[in-house]
Chains A and B, each alone.
Chain A
């Protein structure tokens, strides 16, 4: 029987399968554990890719647990393209589906946060909006819409994901305590940052992202949080270059 990549592939992914036949060591002896070099290369490179892509998850789980979960994950979800920068998109849902992790309910959202940071790192570039662009007639401003830079992503979680992320990436960060947290990923220059949003801000961002006017966003934000602070939010967005353009109201 001749070599097929089907057989090779199946044996690579499943160490319980026998090595493919017809492989030798160049001296007419069976290849034996030489085949395992390829098994090992694939296992190590995909496991390392998940460690690098989800460093906080790896830290929370510990290396042994992360290695084990990575091995389960890559066999179920091998990369769907050669763009390893995108690998692990299904990892948060995979974590959410594991009964043995159900006591760590925050893990999937922390993984989503890490995925969003990685996406932001590779996201398209956009010239930041000049703050002067907002210095127009207030009524016109409230009827305008805004576009976010491609790196900007909103995450809302019932878990303190921002605090957990900080506690595991920064020295001297405070210990997380139970709270729902909204996070906005921004990318000042080239390094993505998760910003903790104040009450109402997530409603404002979501409305603007959906193409709503600033008036609509303001209404939604105030309905959610009467103390919503638009000035503070705009300062954050402008400071991080999170806004890319302002469109005046359609005539």
Chain B
């Protein structure tokens, strides 16, 4: 049996940045939990682990992996799985999540979340890898929808049903990034509300919000880039409202990973997430 008892509170959380350490402790405001990137806390010791131990006494922690390459054609890296097991073992976080993406090829890690065709072959492979992760960690994981800049001619599944089938087969939960939905919908020309309508919302254990940059493709069509480098835009907040209306309150994470602002700016984003939650009947 997978341990499904540990969950995040239906409150705002933020992606933890070391420069905010002291202010988070003194002025958390509405922030009820923190998310860390697993790979940054896999050293042997020093300040990162000392800060994490300290924060974990005060806040539920979500461990968000960016390096497992769950969609990789090769096997999962056993060394990396062991590091993850170690981290999750001592920290006992409220949640562990990863991405529907690949990032490692022939033991080379590219530090980016790369796209997958939605085919039965990909489905089988991803499910096998998630089964393995959940077995090694002894807990249910969440899988996040990607932001897409292109699509594959060979795909035979729509993304929401593809993720739903993964959740059904493996028992994993889903992490719904509404900024990624907005980015992908703009880039690939589909309706973001239609995506939410088709999404298996019952499986959603966490929602992500973040900022994106704007570019253009060869035809002058808008091409949004998932940069996590600025404030969440109004249409994404609206899509969050649309989602919460249908899903009910969920843990909401604000991600801001590049050009990281001062703490009050990030806290104000968390406050806006709190306001979105306040509008939703429990």
Contact = CB atoms under 8 A, between A and B. Distances in A.
Interface stretch (B214-222, B235-243, B270-278): B214-222
A190 B50 contact: yes
A187 B102 CA distance: 36
B111 A26 contact: no
Contacts of A46: 110-111
A42 B112 CA distance: 6
Interface stretch (B27-35, B67-75, B131-139, B194-202): B67-75
A contact face: mostly helix, strand, loop, or mixed: loop
Interface string B78-92: 011001000000000
Interface in B189-213: 189-190
A35 interface: yes
B107 interface: yes
Interface stretch (A93-101, A116-124, A197-205, A221-229): A116-124
A79 B153 contact: no
Interface centre among A22, A37, A45 (most CB of B within 10 A): A37
B228 to A, nearest CB: 12
Contacts of A81: 67, 77, 79-80, 107, 109
Contacts of A25: 150-151, 187-189, 217, 219, 221
A109 to B, nearest CB: 24
Interface string A84-117: 1100000000000000000000000000000000
Interface in B74-125: 77, 79-80, 83, 102-112, 114-115, 117
B223 interface: yes
A73 interface: no
A24 interface: yes
Contacts of B225: 37
Contact of A122 (B45, B109, B215): B45
Measured as residues with beta carbon below 8 angstroms from the partner, the interface class of chain B is 35 or more
B109 to A, nearest CB: 4
B186 to A, nearest CB: 10
Interface stretch (A6-14, A64-72, A235-243): A6-14
Interface centre among A12, A34, A150 (most CB of B within 10 A): A34
Contact of A121 (B46, B80, B105, B219): B46
Contacts of B50: 125, 190
A123 B187 contact: no
A78 B190 CA distance: 35
B165 interface: no
B46 A26 contact: no
B188 A26 contact: yes
Given A85-B40, A124-B45, A37 B223 contact: yes
B150 A24 contact: yes
Measured as residues with beta carbon below 8 angstroms from the partner, the interface class of chain A is 35 or more
Given A38-B149, A82-B39, A124-B45, A26 B154 contact: no
Interface centre among A5, A42, A187 (most CB of B within 10 A): A5
A24 B45 contact: no
A32 interface: yes
Interface string A30-48: 0111110110011001100
Contacts of A136: none
Nearest to B39: A82
A31 B150 contact: yes
A123 B117 CA distance: 40
A79 B154 CA distance: 30
B121 to A, nearest CB: 8
Contact of B187 (A33, A34, A35): A34
A151 B43 CA distance: 12
A79 B108 contact: yes
Given A37-B225, A190-B47, A45 B154 contact: no
B108 A78 contact: yes
A134 interface: no
Interface string A182-194: 0000010011000
A14 B98 CA distance: 28
Given A41-B112, A46-B111, 19 more contacts: A3-B117, A3-B154, A5-B72, A5-B114, A8-B114, A9-B105, A25-B219, A31-B151, A32-B219, A34-B150, A38-B112, A38-B115, A42-B111, A78-B109, A78-B110, A81-B107, A82-B103, A123-B44, A125-B50
22 contacts: A8-B114, A22-B153, A23-B151, A23-B153, A24-B153, A33-B217, A34-B187, A38-B149, A41-B112, A80-B107, A80-B108, A80-B109, A81-B67, A82-B104, A82-B109, A83-B67, A84-B111, A85-B42, A121-B43, A125-B44, A190-B50, A191-B47
Interface of B: 39-40, 42-50, 66-69, 72-73, 77, 79-80, 83, 102-112, 114-115, 117, 149-154, 187-190, 215, 217-219, 221, 223, 225
